[in-house]
Structure 1
Amino acid sequence: PYTYQMYAHDGTLPPDNALRIEPEFRDGFHPCAKNGEWILVDDHRGTTVYNIETKEAVKINELGAIKPGFTLLKPFDFCKWNGTEWILNVDEQNAFKIKQNESRRDFLLNDTNTEIDILNRAVRLGRATEANKKRLELLENYSIDLYQLDLSDPDVVIPKKP
């Protein structure tokens, strides 16, 4: 619906002849002719906007206002759109922490159980030292502590491996 600035010559017809009048220029706007008159149209070309549903970044490449469903405000981790701004989505953040805690606990359990298996073999074969037997007891208690963690608490503290 807009025409860009053109050079009008004798014999040009509206809206092109309206362009003989110098348009107004302002930052963030681009002058365009509409119905034989200059109007200022929002110019966000080259600006990145964000989809308020998907958080996807999109670069604007045409004149006009920012489309509904998009914002200039950059989203951050674990956020949701509240209608005017991005706010922290505590549920999403907690779900992420719980998954991280589960992964960390599972890794530590696997690592600990591997060491327990080897130390149990040494005990069974009579090749374990007293230090091995003490380490085995520590690791067995540690594995039980890991197994009994309440991972529904996103702020659970995972104990360090002895």
Structure 2
Amino acid sequence: MKKLMLFAVVAVFGLFNVNAQETSFGVLGGLSIHSAKAESGGFSATTSETGFHIGGFAQIGISEEFSVQPELTYSIAGDLAMFSLNAIAKYNVSEEFNIQLGPQVGLVGGDLGDALDATDDTTKMNLQLAAGVGYDINEDIFVQARYGFQLNDHYTGDGDASWKINTLSVGVGYKF
């Protein structure tokens, strides 16, 4: 996991050197909904909590149609808090509208993170594949909506148990 995080950070900063002239920075925030699903031996339970997220980003232009948006975000909803490092690829369908796809690597905290620490059969890492859309209102302000599907499992022990957290985020951003 440490190697994956190191690779992601090196890749993101490597991109800054490629197209630094087409890079903008900014802040973002908005609504977050975390949906947790636990399954074990035919039993299934799902809960959802609503909260917010805030963070910072860099938008790195690769071409007119394509850019990469690395983000560092913090979200909190109910008993769940999560820091995430996201590397979102953006394809501009038009001047204002874009589609987004990329990995989101999170570290679960809060009361839920404490519960994950209570056993050796769990992990706090939350690896998601996110897909979404964005709309540039003007040169500085944009809105976006994204859904993250968890790829790994918080339960790492033996048996047929599973515990995953998916996220929906809807927010606004401001470019400097």
What interval of TM-score do these two structures reach, taking the shorter chain for normalisation? under 0.3
TM-score, reference length from structure 2: 0.21
Say which one has the larger Rg: 1
TM-score, reference length from structure 1: 0.22
Judging by fraction of residues, say which structure has more helix.
1
